[in-house]
Chains A and B, each alone.
Chain A
Amino acid sequence: MTAAAAGAGINRYGFLASAIAGRRVTVQWATRSGALAYSDGQSIFLPSTDLATASHPWAAITAQAALIGAGSLHASMLRQLVGRPNLARRYLYLEMLRATRLLADRLPWAFTERLELQAPARTAAVQGSLDLALSSESLPEPPDYFGRIVPLLGMRTAFSEQGWAALSRQQQRGQMKTTAVPDLEDGDEGESSQILRLFQNPFATGNPLSDLLNSILGAGVSKRRSEASAGDGGGAELPVGRVEHALKRGVHAVLSKLPLDLPGPDEVAANPSFSYPEWDVHANAYRRDWVLVEETEAWREDGPQAVGQLLKTAPVELRRQLSGLGVDQELHRRQSDGSDLDLGALIECAIELRAGHSPPALTVYRTSRRTRRDLAITIIVDISGSTAEELRGGESTFTKQLTVAYQLGQVLDSLGDTVAMFGFHSWGRKRVRVVRIKGHAERWSLRVAERMALLEPVGYTRIGAAIRHGTHLLNDTMRLPNRLLVLITDGIAYDQDYELRYAAADAGRALAEARNAGAACVCLCVGSASDTGKLAEVFGAANILAVDEIGQVTGRIREVCRHALKAVSKRRFAPPRGASGDRG
């Protein structure tokens, strides 16, 4: 039984939480003290200290997820609970009863059957619960598995969801590094209001960031203005430097805990690695098992980047262009079944029969059929450090490449093709990292964008290894008759002991191997036309598409892909070369 291994990640309850909450919710171990579960609206945090909860965490998870699903953790409500733990507990009790009724159809039976939840719902909406909680009516104490409400946490999530878009580009880019902050414990009235004060900056009226924080955190704008105009507000007396410092601290507090799905130790250990040969042009021979490629999950230290702007839905025109790839109406003769009789075959068959032979099979029909669209595509994105350079117009090659990869992947996937997508970079031959963006068996989902947000342009480019790994995926894992490898890069290979003639020769070899194995290869260069001459030599001028703007891809991508696929289909039956990767 795999229970022990599975027990490693508490996020195995992620679907339970998401299904009840009605949105993507993760489950994590709590970082703050206390024996009760709590949530910030995006994640549910479980106390690892409480053994009873730790061994059977599902009830606590269900309870917190139900609060999210019922809208109990809305910022406008939480704002009124800050620093009032008793009120928060009464509100929690009432909301849990309401949520249980509201979501009854999707809650576990074993949860709704619990004794404490048999009481009828007292209120019909969040406001009602808050009003009743504020009243003097006596209410039962909520049981432990209800968990608790940490108002400031939920409000922080409201900021990260609504606030990010409201910040300007510069502000988003600003050096908002994560730093440790004083713990935002809700039990302490004094400290909470102190934290709230951190966000108020009387010197920056009209600053969208502080206005935003103020409006979200509910420190009324009018109050701040009156303080500022009266000139006797606590903050107004502070030296500018200190106030700004305090504001920054507040911002860091908000940003430092944005949810981040880190790979657990078990996942890291399970990273598969592959070894591939490399072509040594000087020795005119392969170097066996020369390169070590490791498949990893996307991760960057400073957390997910804001890529929402980049990952726009592809234009309809791109869809139209790509929809025709690899589809053709063809007349098939001598079929065992079909809409018409194939006269030639029928006459032959009749002759055979009259002559006393019996034909082996009655293949006398003809039919016209669209040749099936069984296209497997691997999109490989160069995420080496060089792509991070900004181009004219402020965008980097990296972001342009991600945009193109996202659009291509999305369109091809929606057209029914099998799409795998990964990024690659390297630090010498023993450390080639292939970062999964989309697995071939995975359906298109938010995960793709989430992983893209965690890509980091660092390292170098060992192009041959990436091509060989892509070929390996296409041939050994995806196994469809039509295979297309799309390499998105900013230039020819460069890595430790991997330059110029050696690199070009190896890349050329890798491409030849891919084509011999039946995979068509296409190279896309977006934004940087610097090194494309060399790439064109390696790929063949017709198989490379170099453009400055993403929009230009649309009109030309189809021709390039079709050309590459056609070239391969002619040699489909050539025997494959035994140079694809071995599993390490």
Chain B
Amino acid sequence: MKTDYIASGAEKLVFKAAWDNQLPVLLKGPTGCGKTRLVQTMADELGRPLFTVACHEDLTAGDLVGRFLLRGGETVWEDGPLTRAVRQGGICYLDEIVEARADTTVVIHPLADHRRELNIERLGESLTAPPEFMLVLSYNPGYQSVLKDLKPSTRQRMVAIELDYPSAEIEERILMQEARVERELATRLVRLGQAIRGLKEEGLAEGASTRTLISTARLIKSGVAPAVAAHVAMAAPLTDDPATAQKLREMARVYMGDR
């Protein structure tokens, strides 16, 4: 499927310029605002293979670089996604980088600065990245606990692109393109989304993302009643508290209902 990312600002231009100049990119932004979609689109447009790694607490350097595995009675080396990206001159996308352990992120340092090298200790090998290789990290500033923040030394190696939920007008276009819904429905959904995002002091998980708006629109296209779809796909995932859910349900009714 062709992926068309609708830009809110200059993010595509900046991404392209960073790639041209062999600079790594740090994408910042809330969940579901389009970070992954931007990377996919750019990999597509630049014609490079994309290696995505969803980072998590137990991700080790070995998971990124590669490791010895057992095959029959032998041990064989297998490249990790980062090594493969370097060898093939692809784009390596480390999603939610702060979830990875600090000692893991150290391996990307020599890749991220002017050296553009990947040291594979266990093989005694050092790879130099070709000009087409690009490192992209993403991270969600609001999501992590204070303990988990990117080290300044890592940050400073990056070109930071800050994304946020798109403006109402652009979000409408995204909905119309992604879920193929009418403008009116798109407008209603976007307004509900904007309203929920405004509820900052209510202890909700993150605000309704563009991703959840698209899911809602798709559910409606499949015949789910609009108010129900908005509740199950946008509002309900934000809370487990019955009273809060009730209030969100009421919002969904007012915004999506026909009255």
Contacts and interface: CB of A to CB of B under 8 A. Distances in A.
Interface of A: 6, 11-16, 18-20, 22-24, 56, 58, 62, 105-110, 319, 323, 338-341, 346, 349-350, 353-354, 362, 364, 367, 369-370, 372, 414-416, 439, 441-447
B250 A367 contact: no
A15 B247 contact: yes
Contacts of B244: 15
B124 interface: no
A330 to B, nearest CB: 12
Contact of A108 (B60, B70, B254): B254
Interface string B75-110: 100000000000000000000000001000000000
B156 to A, nearest CB: 23
A258 to B, nearest CB: 18
Contacts of A354: 73
Contacts of A323: 147
A13 B187 CA distance: 21
B130 to A, nearest CB: 26
Interface in B201-226: 201-205
Interface size class of B (residues with CB under 8 A): 35 or more
Nearest to A442: B203
Given A58-B254, A110-B259, A14 B191 contact: no
Given A415-B147, A447-B203, A15 B190 contact: no
B248 interface: yes
B153 interface: no
B250 A12 contact: yes
A62 B75 CA distance: 67
A333 B147 CA distance: 27
B173 interface: no
Nearest to B185: A109
Interface string B180-204: 0000100110111011101101111
B44 to A, nearest CB: 31
Contacts of A362: 70
Contacts of B168: 105
Contact of A14 (B187, B188, B247): B247
Interface of B: 57-58, 60-63, 67-68, 70, 73, 75, 101, 145-147, 168, 184, 187-188, 190-192, 194-196, 198-199, 201-205, 240-241, 244, 246-248, 250-251, 253-255, 257-259
Contacts of A349: 70
Nearest to B147: A323
B191 A107 contact: yes
B203 A109 contact: no
Given A19-B251, A109-B187, A350-B73, A6 B62 contact: no
16 contacts: A12-B247, A13-B247, A15-B196, A16-B247, A16-B251, A18-B198, A18-B201, A19-B199, A108-B254, A109-B188, A354-B73, A362-B70, A414-B146, A416-B145, A445-B202, A447-B202
B198 A22 contact: yes
Nearest to A112: B191
B73 A105 contact: no
Nearest to B190: A105
Given A323-B147, A339-B62, A372-B57, 6 more contacts: A11-B247, A105-B191, A108-B255, A341-B70, A439-B241, A442-B241
A439 B241 CA distance: 9
Contact of A364 (B70, B146, B147, B241): B70
A110 B258 CA distance: 7
Contacts of B147: 323, 415-416
Residue in A106, A323, A350, A364 whose Cβ sees the most chain B Cβ within 10 Å: A106
A441 B62 contact: no
Nearest to A62: B254
B145 A414 contact: yes
Nearest to A58: B254
B195 A19 contact: yes
A338 B190 contact: no
B59 to A, nearest CB: 10
A346 B75 CA distance: 10
Contact of A444 (B67, B203, B240): B203
Contacts of A444: 203
A340 B62 contact: yes
A523 B221 CA distance: 56
A106 B257 contact: no
Nearest to B188: A109
Nearest to B240: A441
Given A16-B251, A415-B146, A108 B191 contact: yes
